[in-house]
Amino acid sequence: METFFSFLAKRVDDCSSLLCVGLDPHPSDLPAPTAEAARDFCLRLVKATSSYAAAFKPNAAFFELYGPEGWAALKDVIAAVQAESDRLGSMIPVILDAKRGDIASTAEAYAQSAFENLGVHAITLSPYLGKDSIDPFLAYKEKGVFLLCKTSNPGAADLQDLNVVVVGAQHVVPLHQHIAHLAQTWNTGDNIGLVVGATQPDALTRVRAAAPDLWLLVPGVGAQGGDLETALRTGLRADGKGMLINVSRGISQSEDPPRVAAELRDEMVNIQYQMSKEKRTKSSKTVSESNKTLQSSDISLSSLFSTLVDSLLDAGCIKFGEFTLKSGLKSPIYIDLRQIITYPKLLEQVGAAYLPILEKLEFQRIAGLPYAAIPIATAVSLQGNHPMIYPRKEVKEYGTKAEIEGEYHAGETVVVIDDLATTGGSKFEAIEKLTGAGLVVKDVVVLIDRQSGAKESLEQAGFHLHAVLTITQLLDYWEKTGKVDKEKLTATRTFLKTTS
């Protein structure tokens, strides 16, 4: 079953936006203080901004004040979001800003009202009555809750900044930080997020540290004085997601709501891109230094590369035992880099590890080899901003009958990206397809060189093989660190020597 936050992440990807449009029909903004005027106000806003909204957040109070008519108007607004979702072909979440918080039996009624009667996808809650007050909402596995953590109003400090002694610990933390930590531990169903105001960047930093995995709903940008870039830089998760920036009056009170929404979306994208670029530059410099270490006679790996090597071992990408190879030989080591795709962080590390080598080469595109290297090449492409193509194993017998997928132009230089180098046979097959299409190939880059003749074979044919790691470096590192039994390492070295 899909959780709320996986559903939200899809919408964020679909619209390339972290913008949550707040639907707050203040009576002062309406031509008349009626439920009908509140409904029409929100319907216009939904239609105008749906292309740029990752979510909509109607404020229940501005509908409840009109009694039953207001409740009916709120249902109409939620239905309008559904209609826009159908039109766009992408489901837009509705987060009910209700700030509910009561004992369990009452909470059950609130949850039923929000999730079954109104049909919203998530709701804001107060956590101050403890976990049993939010459990009735969490029982709806496909729905989400955002717990009030550090709100943007001036009086929030009266309670939320109070220092509390954490039971069983020897330290004191602000109450909002403790709430963030509790939410992180309670989030076993991937359906808890936090509300944190953009007006308190220091608090936002503490909350993100205490809850590194949670989505944050962040009000306070614009009219309340919160700075958008500061909020993103302090609140985004390591993967560049995990935040919804809520803007209400800044959009609804503007002369051109769709233009403002689009500009906010674009500004967020630009900030995210700049942050990603800075991260790649920093990572590239660190990896470059690490690569220098690898090329030296000292077999000790830097912390970055030791983490990568250990992760490859832990993920089962490199195994020791007894394995029958395709050739029929019995091998004491087996390298299966296809396993990398199961571990997103490891895939990201692997992609970054190729960048220092690629920085020294001249090319227009990278070519990932099917199948194991395609996800690796994709990670490299995303982190290095390198256009990617790949040669098919089988030529398509329909449509374009393409032998190479992706856009390219004859005469361009491409670098072949693969996971592993053994004899070089598969590299020559791919190079033949690429050069047959008019492309120029000079270099091949792999994650691991088994040192079984591929480098020499490619050099004789005029191609240069570059490897992030060699099997010798790996074995020497594991021997030095004691990560692998010496008997297995000795058997592996003997096998490699006799089969090279």
The secondary structure of the chain in percent helix, strand, coil, rounded to multiples of 5, reads 50, 20, 30
Question: Is-catalytic flag, 99?
Answer: yes
For residue 185, the tally of other CB atoms under 10 A from its CB is: 10
Residues 466 and 409 in one domain: yes
Which CATH number characterizes residue 60's domain? 3.20.20.70
CA nearest to 243, candidates 188, 295, 181, 194: 194
Distance of CA 265 to the CA centre of its chain: 18
* CA distance linking residue 362 with residue 318, whole number of Å: 31
CA distance 370 to 348: 19
Three-state DSSP class for residue 319: strand
**Based on the number of CB atoms within 10 Å of its own CB, is 256 exposed (0-12), middle (13-18) or buried (19 or more)?**
exposed
Q: Which two tokens stand for residue 141?
A: 């596995």
- Residue 253 to residues 164, 229, 250, 264, Cα–Cα distance (Å): 40, 22, 6, 14
Co-location of 487 and 360 in the same domain: yes
Domain that holds residue 478: 287-499
Q: Rg of the chain over CA atoms, in angstroms?
A: 28
Say if residue 24 is in the same domain as residue 173: yes
- Would you write out the chain's pLDDT as a tens digit for each of its 500 residues? 688 999 899 999 888 899 999 999 999 999 999 999 999 999 999 999 999 999 999 999 999 999 999 999 999 999 999 999 999 888 999 999 999 999 988 999 999 999 999 999 999 999 999 999 999 999 999 999 999 999 888 888 889 888 887 665 556 788 999 999 999 999 999 999 999 998 888 889 999 988 999 999 999 887 677 889 999 999 998 878 899 999 999 999 999 999 999 999 889 888 887 887 777 666 555 555 555 544 443 444 555 577 788 889 888 899 998 888 766 778 899 999 999 998 888 899 899 899 989 988 999 999 999 988 999 999 999 988 899 999 988 765 665 567 899 999 999 999 999 999 988 778 998 999 999 999 999 999 999 999 888 899 999 999 999 999 999 989 988 888 888 888 999 999 998 888 76
Query: How far is the C-alpha of 431 from the C-alpha of 442, rounded, in Å?
Result: 9
DSSP 3-state of 190: coil
**Residues belonging to the chain:** 500
Give the other-Cβ count within 10 Å of 99's Cβ. Answer: 17
Count H helices and E strands in the chain, helices first.
19, 18
Same domain, 293 and 377: yes
Q: Is 101 found in the same domain as 25?
A: yes
Q: Give residues with Cβ within 8 angstroms of 26, minimum separation 6.
A: 62
Same-domain pairing of 293 and 356 = yes
Three-state DSSP class for 332?
A: strand
Residues 6 or more apart from 249 whose CB is under 8 A from it?
A: 22, 24, 222, 223
Boundary of a domain, candidates 253, 268, 296: 253
As given in the structure block, the two tokens for residue 54 are 């990752």
DSSP conformational letter for 155? G
Q: How many structural domains does the chain have?
A: 2
Read off the CATH number of the domain in which 314 is found.
3.40.50.2020
Same domain, 229 and 123: yes
Cα separation, 482 vs 429, in Å, equals: 39
pTM: 0.59
Task: Assess if residue 111 is contained within a domain.
Answer: yes
Side-chain-side CA neighbours of 363 within 13 Å: the count stands at 29
User: Is 200 in the same domain as 106?
Assistant: yes
Asked if 94 and 121 touch (Cβ cutoff 8 Å), the reply is yes
Residues 15 and 93 in one domain: yes
Burial 356-370 (b: 16+ CB within 10 A, else e): bbbeeeebebbbbbb
Residue where a domain stops, chosen among 234, 253, 272: 253
Q: Which residue is catalytic, options 99, 279, 483, 488?
A: 99
Q: How far is CA 393 from CA 369, 404, 426, in A?
A: 9, 9, 10
Predicted local confidence at residue 296, as pLDDT: 42
Bridge partners, 319 (sequence order): 334
| Domain annotation covers residue 258 | no
Q: Are 51 and 84 in contact (CB under 8 A)?
A: no
- Asked, for residue 219, whether it belongs to a domain, the answer is yes
Using the 3D structure, point to which of 253, 271, 303 is the last residue of a domain.
Answer: 253
Nearest to 97 by CA among 219, 9, 7, 263: 219
